Structure 1
Amino acid sequence: MSYKNFPMVPRVIFGRGSFNQLNDVLASKRLGINAPFIFLVDDVFKNNSWLTSRIQLSYDDKIIFVSAEEEPKTSQVDDLVEDIILMSKQRPSGVIGIGGGTLLDLAKAVSIMLTNEGSAKDYQGWDLVKSKAIYHVGVPTISGTGAEVSRTTVLTGPEKKLGINSDFTPFDQVILDSELTRGVPKDQWFYTGMDCYIHCIESLTGTYLNAFSESYGNMALDLCKQIFLEDHLSDIESQEKLMMASWHGGMSIVYSQVGVAHAMSYGLSYLLGTKHGIGNCIVFDHLEEFYPEGVKLFKQMKAEHGIVLPKGLCADLSDSDFNVMIKVALSLEPLWENALGKNWKKIITPEKLKSLYQKM
């Protein structure tokens, strides 16, 4: 049997206020005065000097503000890479992603595409990247996606929504400063937190489960229950615990896989542009058949926090629209195999998927 030899994030700083150490971390990584650091920052921080004033720019360093309104696209990665090449005298010293899952995924993808030829869409899949990415750092400002720890960068391409899954994808350095997550709107906090919760459920109930994944998954699940079902936590405790839940939930799927909710939400996202966190929630709400205990607890958390999910997303879709979503979802074979075993194609047919989507 061949065991997976996955890379992990080699260096992590954790603690409130640790974002202040970013400049010290980068100093030793500068390759020269003409090799800038490129900071990809969520544009919600554009007029937020509390965060941006702490980024010390030297030489040709640049901050590029990026909107996270839409899910990251391969074309967006290509455009960013082209802009960076045009503005830099030589290859950058590094790319630093500051934001939620969208910004972290863009930073990972851009750092890969600065050393690999072609378009980002050419690398959607498993282990297609040939050359090591440039140095890249992740600084999450919202917790739950696990993007800070994963070996994938999820992108919507012209033909599919699929990650660049490779050993070169994970960050070289991550800074986990829970203070940066303050002020996240409640619904967004819930949706990305549930992304983490769903990671745990799909990992812990999957056929790929092993002791490695299980230990991380159980820890993250326990933290999610504390955060979303207990009311004795202070805001600071809740922020710190969710940051660690996100990390452990991400680690749980590194050595296993996600499942039905993620596969189906990729379909929603590809066709309708539904954001990943809310898409997972909309799908998971209808998956009692596959995750009875997990969905029951999810509904409890939803009620606890007064979250009302959108309805009727698929009400006006044509047959060809459904077929597009179904094709995207079914292309994610490892997710289905993890969820349902090697004979998953006998359980999940296009008709079955359509009937599920019609409920949403």
Structure 2
Amino acid sequence: MEKSFRFNCRTMVNFGFGAVSALPEYVAKLGGTKILLLCDPGIASTPILDTVTDILDSADIDYELFDKVTPEPPVADILKAVDILRESGCDMCIGLGGGSAMDVAKGVAMAAGNDGKYEEYAGIGNVPRKGLPCLVIPTTAGTGAEVSIICIATKGESKLGVVDPLIAADAALVDPELTMGLPRKMTAETGVDALVHNIESFLTVTENPMADAVTLEGIRRIWTYLRRAVANPGDREARYYMAYGSLLGGYAMNLTDGAASVHGLAFALGTLFHVPHGLAVAMMVPRTMAAVAKGNYAKFTAMGEAMGICCAGLTAPQAAERIVGEIEQMYRDIGIPLNLRGLNVGITENDLERLTDEAYSQKRVMGHSMYQLTRDEVLAIFKAAY
């Protein structure tokens, strides 16, 4: 069937080793005179921050540092940063780090350039106008937030997502060099997140030919290079293609309006137990994918073929079982836990109903899945993962 689709991509991308050196050029292009530089405490304690601030200092670009971004960032982080931006006279945001830092930068730029607060714009297409200029510099290969039109923050025990082309970063400097020192554990968790962005954008009710082309390339590259990147953090070729695959995942979500059921279940883990996003996504893949395969076995098998998994001679359910088994084997190879108890965050069997309710409330992402999970099926997945 012929499908209409939109490709919402506003972001200028400079990709490759050394891309961060172009920072002054892009600040000038975007008209920034004083920067609010946002990162988390972890990045603030590494040479990565020095690399960026040295570039700004050398170009005589004034900046204010906000290094208090937290994982699964609360709306309060965005409000606090907006106050600092206004008090210090900044007119541009730079997000340096993983998805949280980039989302906070996008959220601050949006909120500071509009009249309301972040939560007023939650949902799809609710942002009145373009906010302040925003540039992002990813230091992980995972979220695709550098080009996505999505920003996620938490309020209480709920995720508040803003989905709108107007919040996309104006520019992204995607420099694989900045991921070279990423620890193995973080490489594994963020790498699986990038893989799932491509997978879920392939297995979605909002599928389209362009998304299929992008996602199959992303799946192939990440599946080929993730083990290498984890095994040898200094593997430049692996780091290059992991950053590339993550970028494709961000583009894919712009083509399909975001992720699907794996993320719905992962959001519950992140919201209720503060499990880091990449790890939460990874935990929910095998059992959720086993259920989602029923929605379109042909596409699920095509995904396996992109991974190089031979399914010749197998029935559709057998092929799906083999693909899920290969994903679990990859987890063993890169050190991802295979059950919720392995997270050591205090989840008990009594929490599974609460997790199910939170996941099932994520109507937007849950509705994207080619196979629509019932509440009982969501609960069964959590029980199987426990």
Normalising by the smaller structure, the TM-score range is: 0.7 to 0.9
Aligned to 2:12: 11
Deviates more, 1:5-14 or 1:309-318: 309-318
CA distance in 1, matches of 2:349, 2:112: 39
1:246 paired to 2:278: no
Q: CA, structure 1 residues 268+27, in 2 after alignment: closer, same or farther (shift >3 Å)?
A: same
Q: CA, structure 1 residues 296+82, in 2 after alignment: closer, same or farther (shift >3 Å)?
A: same
Aligned partner of 1:82: which letter?
D
CA distance in 1, matches of 2:42, 2:346: 30
Aligned to 2:274: 273
- Following superposition of structure 1 onto structure 2, how do residues 1-360 of structure 1 map, counting pairs within 5 Å? 3-30=4-31, 35-47=33-45, 48=47, 49-56=50-57, 58=60, 60-68=62-70, 70-88=71-89, 92-158=90-156, 160-229=158-227, 235-256=235-256, 257-287=258-288, 288-291=290-293, 292=320, 294-309=323-338, 311-312=340-341, 315-316=347-348, 318=350, 322=352, 324-340=354-370, 344=372, 347-349=373-375, 351-358=376-383, 359-360=385-386
Q: Is the 8 A contact 2:144 2:246 kept in 1?
A: yes
Q: For 1:148-190, what per-residue CA distance to the aligned partner results, in whole angstroms no more than 9, with x for missing partners?
A: 1110011112352131101211111111111011111101101
Q: CA, structure 1 residues 295+66, in 2 after alignment: closer, same or farther (shift >3 Å)?
A: farther
CA distance in 2, matches of 1:104, 1:71: 12
Q: CA, structure 1 residues 2+83, in 2 after alignment: closer, same or farther (shift >3 Å)?
A: farther
Q: For 1:125-151, what per-residue CA distance to the aligned partner results, in whole angstroms no more than 9, with x for missing partners?
A: 111111211110111011111111110
Structure with greater helix share of residues = 2
Aligned-residue sequence identity (percent) comes to: 22
Q: CA, structure 1 residues 294+51, in 2 after alignment: closer, same or farther (shift >3 Å)?
A: farther
TM-score by length of 1: 0.87
Name the Cα RMSD after superposition: 2.6
Q: CA, structure 1 residues 155+126, in 2 after alignment: closer, same or farther (shift >3 Å)?
A: same
SS in 2 for 1:104: helix
CA distance in 1, matches of 2:266, 2:286: 12
TM-score by length of 2: 0.82
Task: Using the TM superposition, give the Cα deviation of residue 81 of structure 1 relative to its aligned residue in structure 2, in angstroms.
Answer: 0.6
Structure 2: 5+ residue stretches without partners: 294-319
Q: Is the 8 A contact 1:197 1:221 kept in 2?
A: yes
Q: CA, structure 1 residues 251+202, in 2 after alignment: closer, same or farther (shift >3 Å)?
A: same
CA distance in 2, matches of 1:311, 1:324: 14
Deviates more, 1:327-336 or 1:223-232: 223-232
Structure 1: 5+ residue stretches without partners: none
Count of residue correspondences: 346
